[in-house]
Amino acid sequence: MPRAWTAKDERQYEHIKDGERESGRSPARAKQIAAATVNKRRAQEGRTESSTTATKKKRSKSAPSRKASTKKSSTRSSSASKARTQRSASRTTRKAPARKARA
């Protein structure tokens, strides 16, 4: 266990590693995935030395854009839903072309 990891980090590491092993990953790959996941979470929480740059900036910039995109998507989805309804209604009213009879 790295010195910077807490007991909670170690439990998360073991849980993720076991899950990856059950999914069929090799022991070495399971350890890599588990360690990367725990370190990523630590960085997102601001508990690493390097987390003060990229991770915190990424999180602070993405939060407002999510709200704005959610607002836009709700109006788009209702417009798109109306358009789909109109298209499907027009499809159901069309008649199939008549087939030629074979002799």
Q: What are the residue ranges spanned by the domains of the chain?
A: 1-70
Judged by DSSP in three states, 65 sits in helix
* Pairwise CA distance, residues 90 & 84, whole Å: 10
Please report, rounded to a whole number, the percentage of residues in the chain having pLDDT higher than 90: 38
Q: Is the pLDDT of residue 50 over 60?
A: yes
* Pairwise CA distance, residues 37 & 67, whole Å: 26
How confident is the model over 54-101, as pLDDT tens digits? 545 555 555 554 445 455 555 555 666 666 666 666 555 666 677 777
pLDDT for residue 11: 96
Establish how many alpha carbons lie within 13 A of residue 80's alpha carbon, considering only the half-sphere containing its beta carbon: 6
* Pairwise CA distance, residues 40 & 91, whole Å: 50
Given pLDDT bands bounded at 50, 70 and 90, which one contains residue 5? confident
